[in-house]
Amino acid sequence: MNAPLIPNVLSVAGIDPSGGAGLYADLKAFAAFGAYGCGVVTALTAQNSQIVSGIHAPPPEFVRLQIDTLFADVRIDAAKTGMLATAAIVRAVAEGLAVQRTQGKLAHLVVDTVMLSKSGDELLTRDAIAMLIETVLPLATMMTPNLPEAGALLRSSPPDSLRDMQRAAERLRRLLPDSGQCWVLLKGGHLPGDAVDLLYDGDRMIEFSAPRIDTLNTHGTGCSLSAAIAALLPRTDVPDAVGEAKRWLTQAISRSGELTVGQGHGPVHHFHRLWSR
C-alpha cells in the first residue's frame, strides 16, 4: 500500500502553555514535515520557559475515550507518546493503543520517554516508569530516551561516554522480552562536545552527530525530534527518518534566536524552513 500524500500523525502528550514542548510543539513539528497533526491530551501543566508550577492529570478513562473516539473516525498513520504523567494514564494509553495495533490501525509508534522538564521538574511519577516499560514499550517502533531517562529506565547512572551509550542502547533493547522491530534512539545531548545520538535495532548501531550550538533555547528538543520522526515514518525507513529529523532539529536550534519566547530555556524554531528571517 502506498504511503499517504499527507499522513495523519497523532501526539499523545501533555500541554505546555508556552508552546515550546509537549503537544503544541509536536503539532508544529508535524506541520513542518507536511503531516496533519492530531492530539490526545494526557496532562495539563502550568509552565513557562523557566518553571513548571503545576500539573493536572485528567481521569485515565477520559484519556482512553479520546483515543478510542479518534481512531473510530480518523486514519492514523503514526503516533508518538510524550508526557504520560501517572501509572494509571500510562496503562490507559497502552491499552488504547494496543487495541489499535492489534486491529492494524497503527503502523508506527514512537515512544518519547518524557520524565523531566528542562527546569528539572518531574513529569512522570516513579511508579509510572515500570508501567511504561511493561505496557507501552512493547508497542513501540522506536523509543527515544535521553541519557538521564536511559539511567532511570535501566535503574543505573546515566551513560557518561560514547562507549557507555553503546552499552546502554543494547541494555535498553533487552528490556523487552520480544523486542521485535523496536529501535532504540539514545540521545547524547547531555554529554560535552558534539551532539551524538545512537540508533540501535539489535544488529546495527548507527551514529548521528551534529555540532553543539551555544544557546539556552533547547526547550522541547526531545518532543520535537520524536514528533519529526513520527511524521516521517509513514514515508521513509527508520534510519532515514532519524537522519532527516536530526538535521531539521539542528537547524531549528541554530535559528531559535529569531524567536523571543520567555526568559529561560526558549523553544526551537520549528518553522525555520518556512518563515523568512
Residue that is written with C-alpha cell 482512553 in the block: 64
- Our answer to whether residue 125 is catalytic in this structure is no
- Our answer to whether residue 141 is catalytic in this structure is no
- Assign 146 to helix, strand or coil: strand
- Our answer to whether residue 69 is catalytic in this structure is no
Query: Counting beta carbons within 10 angstroms of the beta carbon of residue 148, is it exposed (0 to 12), middle (13 to 18) or buried (19 or more)?
Result: middle
From the candidates 42, 135, 141, 218, give the one annotated as an active-site residue.
Answer: 218
Give me 132's grid cell: 511504561
From the candidates 144, 223, 246, 250, give the one annotated as an active-site residue.
Answer: 223
- Our answer to whether residue 218 is catalytic in this structure is yes
- The order of strands in the sheet holding 205-210 is 52-56, 36-47, 8-15, 78-81, 109-111, 142-143, 183-187, 195-200, 205-210
- Our answer to whether residue 182 is catalytic in this structure is no
The helix (H) or strand (E) run that includes residue 153 is helix 147-154
From the candidates 45, 135, 221, 250, give the one annotated as an active-site residue.
Answer: 221
From the candidates 20, 37, 96, 222, give the one annotated as an active-site residue.
Answer: 222
Which contacts qualify for 192-199: CB closer than 8 Å, 24 or more apart?
A: 195/250, 196/162, 196/165, 197/242, 197/246, 198/162, 198/165, 198/166, 198/169, 199/238, 199/239, 199/242
Which residues 6+ apart lie within 8 Å of 47 measured at CB?
Answer: 16, 17, 18, 53, 117, 119, 121
- Assign 63 to helix, strand or coil: helix
- Our answer to whether residue 20 is catalytic in this structure is no
Residues taking part in catalysis: 187, 218, 220-223
